[in-house]
Amino acid sequence: MPQPTQQQLLDWDRHHYWHGFTQMAGYEPFIIERAYGATLVDIRGREYLDGVSSLWCNVHGHRHPKIDEAIRRQLSEVAHCTSLGVSNPTTIRLARRLSELLPEGLDHVFFSSDGACAVEVALKMAFQYWRQCETPEPERTKFIALGDAYHGDTLGSVSVGGIDFFHALYRSLLFEVVRVPSPDPRRLPQGISRDVAAAYYLEQLEKVLSNQSGEIAAMIMEPLVQGAAGMIMHPAGYFQGVRNLCTQYHVLLIADEVATGFGRTGTMFACMQEEVVPDILCLGKGLTGGYLPMSATIASTKIWKAFLGGASEKKTFFHGHTYGGNPLAAAAALASLELFEEEGTLRQLVPKMARLGVHLSRLAKHPHVADARQTGFMAAVELVQNKPAGQPYPSADQMGWRVCQDVLDRGIWIRPLGDTLVIMPPFCITMNQLDRMMEAISRGIEVVTARFLKYELGQG
Protein backbone atom coordinates (compact mmCIF):
# COMPACT_ATOMS: atom_id res chain seq x y z
CA MET A 1 0.00 0.00 0.00
CA PRO A 2 1.36 3.44 -0.88
CA GLN A 3 2.00 5.80 2.06
CA PRO A 4 -0.67 8.49 2.38
CA THR A 5 0.38 11.98 1.35
CA GLN A 6 0.52 14.78 3.93
CA GLN A 7 -2.69 16.20 2.49
CA GLN A 8 -4.45 12.84 2.83
CA LEU A 9 -3.35 12.58 6.44
CA LEU A 10 -4.75 16.05 7.17
CA ASP A 11 -8.06 15.24 5.43
CA TRP A 12 -8.47 11.80 6.99
CA ASP A 13 -7.59 13.18 10.43
CA ARG A 14 -10.37 15.78 10.17
CA HIS A 15 -12.92 13.31 8.87
CA HIS A 16 -12.19 9.87 10.36
CA TYR A 17 -10.35 10.41 13.62
CA TRP A 18 -12.80 11.78 16.21
CA HIS A 19 -10.63 13.44 18.86
CA GLY A 20 -11.41 13.70 22.59
CA PHE A 21 -12.54 17.05 24.01
CA THR A 22 -12.13 18.55 20.53
CA GLN A 23 -14.68 20.46 18.44
CA MET A 24 -14.15 18.64 15.17
CA ALA A 25 -15.85 21.37 13.10
CA GLY A 26 -12.98 23.77 13.66
CA TYR A 27 -10.27 21.22 14.27
CA GLU A 28 -6.81 22.13 12.99
CA PRO A 29 -4.74 18.93 12.70
CA PHE A 30 -1.49 18.83 14.68
CA ILE A 31 0.04 15.52 13.63
CA ILE A 32 3.00 14.19 15.57
CA GLU A 33 5.02 11.69 13.61
CA ARG A 34 7.99 11.17 15.89
CA ALA A 35 9.30 12.27 19.26
CA TYR A 36 12.44 12.05 21.38
CA GLY A 37 13.13 13.32 24.91
CA ALA A 38 10.96 16.38 25.48
CA THR A 39 10.67 17.07 21.74
CA LEU A 40 7.79 16.30 19.37
CA VAL A 41 8.24 16.27 15.59
CA ASP A 42 5.24 16.84 13.30
CA ILE A 43 4.68 15.45 9.79
CA ARG A 44 6.27 18.56 8.25
CA GLY A 45 9.42 17.95 10.28
CA ARG A 46 8.81 20.91 12.64
CA GLU A 47 9.93 20.41 16.24
CA TYR A 48 8.06 21.41 19.39
CA LEU A 49 8.83 21.09 23.09
CA ASP A 50 6.21 18.94 24.79
CA GLY A 51 5.15 21.41 27.51
CA VAL A 52 2.36 19.24 28.94
CA SER A 53 4.02 15.81 28.85
CA SER A 54 1.54 14.56 26.22
CA LEU A 55 -1.34 15.32 28.58
CA TRP A 56 0.44 14.93 31.90
CA CYS A 57 1.65 11.37 31.44
CA ASN A 58 5.17 11.45 29.99
CA VAL A 59 7.88 11.24 32.63
CA HIS A 60 11.38 10.38 31.37
CA GLY A 61 10.86 11.64 27.83
CA HIS A 62 9.72 10.06 24.59
CA ARG A 63 11.63 7.06 23.23
CA HIS A 64 13.75 6.54 26.29
CA PRO A 65 16.06 3.65 25.31
CA LYS A 66 15.45 1.79 28.55
CA ILE A 67 11.66 1.82 28.31
CA ASP A 68 11.77 1.07 24.57
CA GLU A 69 13.99 -1.91 25.28
CA ALA A 70 11.82 -3.20 28.14
CA ILE A 71 8.78 -3.26 25.84
CA ARG A 72 10.75 -5.04 23.10
CA ARG A 73 11.97 -7.63 25.58
CA GLN A 74 8.42 -8.21 26.81
CA LEU A 75 7.23 -8.58 23.20
CA SER A 76 9.52 -11.54 22.79
CA GLU A 77 7.75 -13.22 25.73
CA VAL A 78 4.05 -12.36 25.58
CA ALA A 79 2.17 -9.19 24.58
CA HIS A 80 -1.00 -9.88 26.50
CA CYS A 81 -2.71 -12.35 28.78
CA THR A 82 -5.86 -11.70 30.76
CA SER A 83 -5.91 -10.72 34.44
CA LEU A 84 -9.08 -12.74 35.08
CA GLY A 85 -7.77 -15.68 37.06
CA VAL A 86 -4.49 -15.64 35.08
CA SER A 87 -1.15 -14.00 35.80
CA ASN A 88 2.20 -13.02 34.35
CA PRO A 89 5.66 -12.49 35.93
CA THR A 90 6.04 -8.88 34.69
CA THR A 91 2.69 -7.75 36.06
CA ILE A 92 3.33 -9.57 39.36
CA ARG A 93 6.66 -7.73 39.71
CA LEU A 94 4.97 -4.40 39.03
CA ALA A 95 2.28 -5.01 41.68
CA ARG A 96 5.03 -5.89 44.16
CA ARG A 97 7.09 -2.81 43.24
CA LEU A 98 4.12 -0.46 43.60
CA SER A 99 3.31 -1.84 47.03
CA GLU A 100 6.94 -1.23 48.07
CA LEU A 101 6.85 2.37 46.87
CA LEU A 102 3.42 3.28 48.22
CA PRO A 103 2.69 4.18 51.84
CA GLU A 104 2.48 1.29 54.31
CA GLY A 105 -0.49 -1.02 53.92
CA LEU A 106 -1.38 -0.12 50.33
CA ASP A 107 -0.50 -3.59 49.12
CA HIS A 108 -3.24 -4.84 46.81
CA VAL A 109 -3.11 -3.62 43.23
CA PHE A 110 -6.05 -3.83 40.80
CA PHE A 111 -5.07 -2.92 37.22
CA SER A 112 -7.19 -1.18 34.58
CA SER A 113 -6.31 0.81 31.49
CA ASP A 114 -7.31 4.43 32.16
CA GLY A 115 -7.49 6.83 35.06
CA ALA A 116 -11.28 7.03 34.87
CA CYS A 117 -11.47 3.23 35.26
CA ALA A 118 -9.13 3.35 38.26
CA VAL A 119 -11.59 5.79 39.86
CA GLU A 120 -14.59 3.69 38.84
CA VAL A 121 -12.96 0.68 40.49
CA ALA A 122 -12.22 2.64 43.67
CA LEU A 123 -15.85 3.76 43.95
CA LYS A 124 -17.20 0.25 43.45
CA MET A 125 -14.69 -1.20 45.91
CA ALA A 126 -15.64 1.32 48.59
CA PHE A 127 -19.35 0.72 47.98
CA GLN A 128 -19.00 -3.05 48.14
CA TYR A 129 -16.69 -2.88 51.16
CA TRP A 130 -19.48 -1.58 53.41
CA ARG A 131 -21.76 -4.45 52.39
CA GLN A 132 -19.35 -7.19 53.32
CA CYS A 133 -16.85 -5.88 55.88
CA GLU A 134 -16.78 -7.41 59.35
CA THR A 135 -19.60 -5.21 60.66
CA PRO A 136 -21.48 -4.27 57.49
CA GLU A 137 -23.07 -0.84 57.14
CA PRO A 138 -24.92 -1.18 53.83
CA GLU A 139 -26.60 2.20 54.34
CA ARG A 140 -23.25 3.80 53.52
CA THR A 141 -23.84 4.33 49.81
CA LYS A 142 -22.87 7.94 49.11
CA PHE A 143 -19.66 9.68 48.21
CA ILE A 144 -18.28 13.06 49.21
CA ALA A 145 -16.34 14.94 46.55
CA LEU A 146 -14.91 18.42 46.13
CA GLY A 147 -16.49 21.18 44.11
CA ASP A 148 -14.98 21.51 40.61
CA ALA A 149 -13.49 18.03 40.97
CA TYR A 150 -12.37 16.10 37.91
CA HIS A 151 -11.91 12.34 38.13
CA GLY A 152 -12.36 11.18 34.53
CA ASP A 153 -15.09 10.79 31.92
CA THR A 154 -16.93 7.54 32.63
CA LEU A 155 -20.34 7.94 34.29
CA GLY A 156 -19.19 7.08 37.82
CA SER A 157 -16.17 9.32 37.59
CA VAL A 158 -18.26 12.13 36.07
CA SER A 159 -20.76 11.68 38.94
CA VAL A 160 -18.07 12.39 41.54
CA GLY A 161 -16.69 15.10 39.26
CA GLY A 162 -17.99 18.58 39.92
CA ILE A 163 -17.44 20.44 36.69
CA ASP A 164 -20.79 22.18 36.12
CA PHE A 165 -20.94 21.85 32.38
CA PHE A 166 -20.50 18.05 32.27
CA HIS A 167 -22.87 17.73 35.17
CA ALA A 168 -25.62 19.70 33.54
CA LEU A 169 -25.28 17.86 30.26
CA TYR A 170 -25.30 14.31 31.65
CA ARG A 171 -27.28 14.94 34.87
CA SER A 172 -29.97 12.32 34.35
CA LEU A 173 -27.31 9.62 33.96
CA LEU A 174 -25.36 10.46 37.12
CA PHE A 175 -25.69 9.41 40.78
CA GLU A 176 -25.99 12.00 43.52
CA VAL A 177 -22.89 13.10 45.38
CA VAL A 178 -22.39 15.10 48.59
CA ARG A 179 -20.35 18.10 47.55
CA VAL A 180 -18.01 20.12 49.80
CA PRO A 181 -16.33 23.30 48.57
CA SER A 182 -12.91 22.93 47.05
CA PRO A 183 -10.24 24.55 49.28
CA ASP A 184 -9.19 27.09 46.68
CA PRO A 185 -6.90 29.77 48.18
CA ARG A 186 -7.84 32.15 45.35
CA ARG A 187 -11.53 32.11 46.12
CA LEU A 188 -11.66 32.41 49.89
CA PRO A 189 -14.84 33.83 51.42
CA GLN A 190 -14.56 37.29 52.99
CA GLY A 191 -12.74 37.34 56.29
CA ILE A 192 -10.93 34.04 55.68
CA SER A 193 -7.19 34.53 55.18
CA ARG A 194 -4.85 31.97 53.60
CA ASP A 195 -3.50 31.06 57.03
CA VAL A 196 -6.83 29.77 58.23
CA ALA A 197 -8.08 28.48 54.87
CA ALA A 198 -7.35 24.81 55.60
CA ALA A 199 -9.13 24.99 58.97
CA TYR A 200 -12.09 26.79 57.41
CA TYR A 201 -12.61 24.19 54.69
CA LEU A 202 -12.10 21.33 57.14
CA GLU A 203 -14.88 22.82 59.26
CA GLN A 204 -17.16 22.73 56.19
CA LEU A 205 -16.33 19.06 55.73
CA GLU A 206 -16.88 18.28 59.40
CA LYS A 207 -20.37 19.83 59.26
CA VAL A 208 -21.29 17.41 56.50
CA LEU A 209 -19.70 14.45 58.25
CA SER A 210 -21.31 15.12 61.60
CA ASN A 211 -24.75 15.24 59.93
CA GLN A 212 -24.56 12.42 57.41
CA SER A 213 -21.48 10.30 58.01
CA GLY A 214 -23.67 7.20 58.46
CA GLU A 215 -24.68 7.40 54.79
CA ILE A 216 -21.20 8.06 53.41
CA ALA A 217 -19.12 5.23 51.96
CA ALA A 218 -16.07 7.30 51.05
CA MET A 219 -14.64 10.69 50.30
CA ILE A 220 -12.71 11.02 47.05
CA MET A 221 -10.23 13.80 46.27
CA GLU A 222 -7.00 14.66 44.53
CA PRO A 223 -4.29 15.34 47.13
CA LEU A 224 -2.55 18.77 47.06
CA VAL A 225 -3.49 19.79 43.51
CA GLN A 226 -6.78 19.49 41.63
CA GLY A 227 -5.41 19.34 38.10
CA ALA A 228 -8.13 19.42 35.44
CA ALA A 229 -10.34 21.36 37.88
CA GLY A 230 -8.16 24.36 36.98
CA MET A 231 -4.89 23.61 38.79
CA ILE A 232 -6.31 24.40 42.23
CA MET A 233 -3.52 24.18 44.79
CA HIS A 234 -4.78 23.35 48.27
CA PRO A 235 -3.57 25.03 51.47
CA ALA A 236 -1.04 22.95 53.44
CA GLY A 237 -2.62 20.67 55.99
CA TYR A 238 -5.96 20.27 54.26
CA PHE A 239 -5.35 16.73 53.02
CA GLN A 240 -4.08 15.54 56.40
CA GLY A 241 -7.10 17.18 58.02
CA VAL A 242 -9.38 15.27 55.65
CA ARG A 243 -7.63 12.03 56.57
CA ASN A 244 -8.18 12.71 60.27
CA LEU A 245 -11.86 13.55 59.81
CA CYS A 246 -12.46 10.49 57.63
CA THR A 247 -10.87 8.30 60.29
CA GLN A 248 -12.90 9.96 63.04
CA TYR A 249 -16.20 9.45 61.17
CA HIS A 250 -15.33 5.98 59.76
CA VAL A 251 -15.50 7.18 56.17
CA LEU A 252 -13.09 5.66 53.64
CA LEU A 253 -10.65 8.01 51.92
CA ILE A 254 -9.93 7.57 48.21
CA ALA A 255 -6.92 9.52 46.93
CA ASP A 256 -7.00 10.12 43.18
CA GLU A 257 -3.31 10.42 42.31
CA VAL A 258 -3.85 9.87 38.60
CA ALA A 259 -2.35 13.32 37.91
CA THR A 260 -0.23 13.89 41.04
CA GLY A 261 1.43 10.45 41.18
CA PHE A 262 4.96 9.56 40.06
CA GLY A 263 6.85 12.62 41.14
CA ARG A 264 4.65 15.40 39.75
CA THR A 265 4.43 17.22 43.08
CA GLY A 266 8.11 16.66 43.88
CA THR A 267 7.65 13.45 45.94
CA MET A 268 6.89 10.05 44.44
CA PHE A 269 3.26 10.40 45.55
CA ALA A 270 1.51 13.56 46.75
CA CYS A 271 0.11 11.66 49.78
CA MET A 272 3.61 11.47 51.19
CA GLN A 273 3.92 15.23 51.63
CA GLU A 274 1.30 15.20 54.37
CA GLU A 275 2.06 11.67 55.53
CA VAL A 276 -1.40 10.49 54.62
CA VAL A 277 -2.28 6.86 54.01
CA PRO A 278 -5.56 6.67 52.09
CA ASP A 279 -7.72 3.53 52.17
CA ILE A 280 -7.73 3.36 48.37
CA LEU A 281 -5.38 5.11 45.94
CA CYS A 282 -5.76 5.60 42.17
CA LEU A 283 -2.86 5.83 39.74
CA GLY A 284 -2.77 6.36 35.98
CA LYS A 285 -1.16 8.87 33.62
CA GLY A 286 2.57 8.59 34.55
CA LEU A 287 2.41 4.91 35.57
CA THR A 288 3.97 3.60 32.34
CA GLY A 289 6.17 6.68 31.92
CA GLY A 290 3.58 7.91 29.40
CA TYR A 291 4.00 4.98 27.02
CA LEU A 292 0.99 2.69 27.26
CA PRO A 293 -2.50 2.81 28.75
CA MET A 294 -2.44 1.39 32.26
CA SER A 295 -3.93 2.47 35.56
CA ALA A 296 -4.15 0.97 39.01
CA THR A 297 -6.38 1.06 42.07
CA ILE A 298 -4.51 0.10 45.19
CA ALA A 299 -6.42 -1.05 48.26
CA SER A 300 -5.29 -1.25 51.86
CA THR A 301 -5.33 -4.61 53.58
CA LYS A 302 -8.49 -3.62 55.50
CA ILE A 303 -10.38 -3.23 52.21
CA TRP A 304 -8.84 -6.32 50.61
CA LYS A 305 -9.80 -8.58 53.51
CA ALA A 306 -13.47 -7.68 53.16
CA PHE A 307 -13.42 -9.27 49.72
CA LEU A 308 -12.02 -12.65 50.83
CA GLY A 309 -14.39 -15.57 51.33
CA GLY A 310 -15.69 -18.84 49.93
CA ALA A 311 -17.12 -18.94 46.40
CA SER A 312 -20.68 -19.13 47.75
CA GLU A 313 -20.26 -15.99 49.90
CA LYS A 314 -20.24 -13.81 46.77
CA LYS A 315 -17.61 -11.46 48.17
CA THR A 316 -15.61 -11.42 44.94
CA PHE A 317 -14.94 -8.02 43.40
CA PHE A 318 -17.18 -8.26 40.36
CA HIS A 319 -15.19 -6.08 38.01
CA GLY A 320 -12.45 -6.56 35.42
CA HIS A 321 -11.15 -5.18 32.14
CA THR A 322 -9.98 -7.16 29.13
CA TYR A 323 -6.57 -5.48 29.07
CA GLY A 324 -6.15 -4.98 32.84
CA GLY A 325 -2.58 -5.75 33.91
CA ASN A 326 -1.30 -5.92 30.31
CA PRO A 327 2.32 -7.20 30.41
CA LEU A 328 3.66 -4.76 27.79
CA ALA A 329 2.34 -1.84 29.84
CA ALA A 330 3.65 -3.46 33.03
CA ALA A 331 7.11 -3.80 31.45
CA ALA A 332 7.08 -0.10 30.56
CA ALA A 333 5.95 0.79 34.09
CA LEU A 334 8.66 -1.31 35.73
CA ALA A 335 11.33 0.26 33.51
CA SER A 336 10.00 3.74 34.33
CA LEU A 337 10.15 3.00 38.07
CA GLU A 338 13.70 1.68 37.71
CA LEU A 339 14.67 4.89 35.94
CA PHE A 340 13.51 6.93 38.92
CA GLU A 341 16.28 5.17 40.87
CA GLU A 342 18.98 4.83 38.22
CA GLU A 343 18.74 8.41 36.99
CA GLY A 344 17.88 9.94 40.36
CA THR A 345 14.88 11.52 38.64
CA LEU A 346 13.41 13.22 41.72
CA ARG A 347 16.80 14.56 42.83
CA GLN A 348 17.45 15.94 39.34
CA LEU A 349 14.05 17.56 39.42
CA VAL A 350 14.90 19.81 42.40
CA PRO A 351 16.88 22.47 40.48
CA LYS A 352 14.36 22.31 37.61
CA MET A 353 11.47 23.01 40.00
CA ALA A 354 13.43 25.96 41.38
CA ARG A 355 14.15 27.34 37.90
CA LEU A 356 10.49 26.96 36.93
CA GLY A 357 9.67 28.92 40.09
CA VAL A 358 11.98 31.78 39.07
CA HIS A 359 10.29 32.03 35.67
CA LEU A 360 6.86 31.92 37.27
CA SER A 361 7.59 34.75 39.72
CA ARG A 362 8.68 36.88 36.79
CA LEU A 363 5.50 36.00 34.86
CA ALA A 364 3.33 36.77 37.91
CA LYS A 365 4.28 40.45 37.59
CA HIS A 366 2.76 40.74 34.12
CA PRO A 367 -0.30 43.07 34.11
CA HIS A 368 -2.46 40.35 32.51
CA VAL A 369 -1.31 37.47 34.71
CA ALA A 370 -3.56 37.11 37.76
CA ASP A 371 -1.58 34.33 39.31
CA ALA A 372 1.36 32.04 38.47
CA ARG A 373 1.38 29.09 40.84
CA GLN A 374 3.38 25.92 41.28
CA THR A 375 3.42 22.66 43.17
CA GLY A 376 6.45 20.57 42.33
CA PHE A 377 6.70 20.30 38.56
CA MET A 378 3.07 21.34 37.95
CA ALA A 379 2.45 24.99 37.16
CA ALA A 380 -0.41 27.22 36.09
CA VAL A 381 -0.51 30.75 34.75
CA GLU A 382 -3.87 32.44 34.94
CA LEU A 383 -4.64 35.21 32.46
CA VAL A 384 -6.89 38.10 33.43
CA GLN A 385 -8.22 41.12 31.57
CA ASN A 386 -8.13 43.57 34.47
CA LYS A 387 -5.75 42.50 37.19
CA PRO A 388 -6.62 45.00 39.98
CA ALA A 389 -10.35 44.33 39.50
CA GLY A 390 -9.80 40.58 39.08
CA GLN A 391 -11.89 40.70 35.94
CA PRO A 392 -11.43 37.72 33.61
CA TYR A 393 -11.41 37.91 29.82
CA PRO A 394 -14.77 37.16 28.20
CA SER A 395 -14.72 33.40 27.72
CA ALA A 396 -15.77 33.83 24.07
CA ASP A 397 -12.41 35.48 23.43
CA GLN A 398 -10.59 32.21 24.26
CA MET A 399 -7.49 34.02 25.47
CA GLY A 400 -5.93 30.87 26.92
CA TRP A 401 -6.32 29.10 23.60
CA ARG A 402 -5.00 32.14 21.66
CA VAL A 403 -1.86 32.33 23.77
CA CYS A 404 -1.26 28.59 23.31
CA GLN A 405 -1.61 28.97 19.52
CA ASP A 406 0.94 31.79 19.54
CA VAL A 407 3.28 29.75 21.73
CA LEU A 408 2.88 26.78 19.34
CA ASP A 409 4.22 28.95 16.52
CA ARG A 410 7.24 29.55 18.76
CA GLY A 411 7.86 25.80 18.93
CA ILE A 412 6.26 25.03 22.30
CA TRP A 413 3.17 22.88 22.76
CA ILE A 414 0.99 23.64 25.80
CA ARG A 415 -2.76 23.31 26.40
CA PRO A 416 -4.94 25.65 28.45
CA LEU A 417 -7.78 25.00 30.88
CA GLY A 418 -9.95 27.99 30.02
CA ASP A 419 -7.71 31.03 30.56
CA THR A 420 -5.29 29.07 32.73
CA LEU A 421 -2.14 27.94 30.93
CA VAL A 422 -0.97 24.58 32.21
CA ILE A 423 2.77 23.97 32.29
CA MET A 424 3.76 20.39 33.01
CA PRO A 425 6.82 19.31 31.01
CA PRO A 426 8.38 15.85 31.22
CA PHE A 427 10.99 15.55 33.97
CA CYS A 428 13.72 14.94 31.36
CA ILE A 429 13.44 18.53 30.07
CA THR A 430 16.84 20.24 30.22
CA MET A 431 17.47 23.61 31.89
CA ASN A 432 17.99 25.19 28.47
CA GLN A 433 14.76 23.76 27.13
CA LEU A 434 12.93 24.91 30.26
CA ASP A 435 14.27 28.44 29.81
CA ARG A 436 13.35 28.41 26.13
CA MET A 437 9.85 27.18 26.92
CA MET A 438 9.19 29.77 29.63
CA GLU A 439 10.57 32.60 27.50
CA ALA A 440 8.30 31.60 24.61
CA ILE A 441 5.29 31.48 26.96
CA SER A 442 6.21 34.88 28.34
CA ARG A 443 6.50 36.33 24.79
CA GLY A 444 3.23 34.69 23.79
CA ILE A 445 1.39 36.26 26.74
CA GLU A 446 2.89 39.65 25.98
CA VAL A 447 2.09 39.62 22.27
CA VAL A 448 -1.43 38.22 22.54
CA THR A 449 -2.56 40.40 25.47
CA ALA A 450 -1.13 43.52 23.76
CA ARG A 451 -2.88 42.66 20.50
CA PHE A 452 -6.12 42.20 22.43
CA LEU A 453 -5.69 45.56 24.18
CA LYS A 454 -5.30 47.26 20.81
CA TYR A 455 -8.40 45.49 19.56
CA GLU A 456 -10.35 46.60 22.64
CA LEU A 457 -9.25 50.20 22.19
CA GLY A 458 -10.17 49.97 18.52
CA GLN A 459 -13.65 48.79 19.49
CA GLY A 460 -14.04 51.45 22.22
Ligand X SMILES: *Cc1c(COP(=O)(O)O)cnc(C)c1O
Residues that bind ligand X (CB under 6 A): 114-116, 119, 150-152, 222, 227-228, 256, 258-259, 284-285
Q: Cβ 228 to ligand X, closest distance in Å? A: 5
Q: CA torsion sign, 273 to 275 to 276 to 281?
A: positive
Q: Which is closer to ligand X, CB of 286 or CB of 444?
A: 286
Q: How far is the CB of 26 from ligand X (least distance, A)?
A: 23
- Tell me the closest approach of the beta carbon of residue 55 to ligand X, in angstroms: 8
State in angstroms the smallest separation of the CB of 13 from ligand X.
21
- Shortest distance, position 344 Cβ to ligand X, whole Å: 26
> How far apart are the C-alpha atoms of 122 and 282, rounded to whole Å?
7
For ligand X, which is the closer residue by CB, 155 or 199? 155
Q: Which is nearer to ligand X, 64 or 151 (CB)?
A: 151
Provide the Cα torsion 323, 324, 328, 332; round to 10°: 140
Query: What is the rounded (10 degree) CA torsion for 132, 134, 140, 144?
Result: -100
Question: Judging by DSSP bridges, how do beta strands 378-383 and 369-375 pair with one another?
Answer: antiparallel
Q: At closest approach, how far in Å is the CB of 329 from ligand X?
A: 12
Strand partners, 112: 295
Helix (H) / strand (E) containing 329: helix 327-342
Specify the residue, 55 or 92, whose C-beta has the smaller distance to ligand X: 55
- Rounded to an integer, what distance in angstroms lies between the CA atom of residue 68 and that of residue 177? 42
Residue with smaller CB distance to ligand X, 231 or 404: 231
CB of 220 to ligand X, least distance (A): 10
Nearer Cβ to ligand X (129/150): 150
Read off the DSSP letter of residue 279: S
Rounded to 5 degrees, φ, ψ at 183 are -75, 80
- Write the DSSP string, 217-278: EEEEE-SSEETTTT-EEPPTTHHHHHHHHHHHTT-EEEEE-TTTTTTTTSSSSGGGGGT---
Residue with the shortest CB distance to ligand X: 115
Spatial separation of the C-alpha atoms in residues 307 and 128, rounded to whole Å: 9
Would you say 39 or 374 has its CB closer to ligand X? 374
